[in-house]
Copies of this chain bind each other. A is one copy, B any other.
């Protein structure tokens, strides 16, 4: 499929848009931080991240036990997409932003084990 359609197709999902917006507001995030922020199961976030990566919208880098994800800023079309997405105003984004702030602030005491357990119970 054409590269640009692949990118556009991947935008048609709220979780993926939320992930892209998170990554647009900080340099990078661990998978578990995204899980924590969006309150969705690990495997769900993982699959969405893979789709975003297949569309070359994001990239990853392993850091020991953790994996960092960050925006791929090497393509001008990507930047235009991010501009479009960050222009959207929505309640759920505000909530995400709030939670992200806390998660990043507590990065030192990061403990993915607890939060992912949390998630399972809450669902």
Chain A positions near chain B (C-beta within 8 angstroms): 2, 4-5, 8-14, 17, 77, 80-81, 83-84, 87-88, 90
Checking B5, B12, B83, B90 against A8 with a beta-carbon cut-off of 8 angstroms, the contacting residue is B12
Shortest Cβ distance from residue A75 to the other chain B in the assembled complex, whole angstroms: 12
**Closest Cβ neighbor of A6 among chain B residues:** B12
Evaluate contact between A8 and B17: CB separation under 8 angstroms.
Answer: yes
**Closest Cβ neighbor of A81 among chain B residues:** B84
Q: How far is the CA of A77 from the CA of B88 in the complex (A)?
A: 8
Which residues of chain B have C-beta atoms less than 8 A from A10's C-beta? Answer: 12
Contact A12 B12, CB 8 Å, known A80-B84, A80-B87, A87-B77: yes
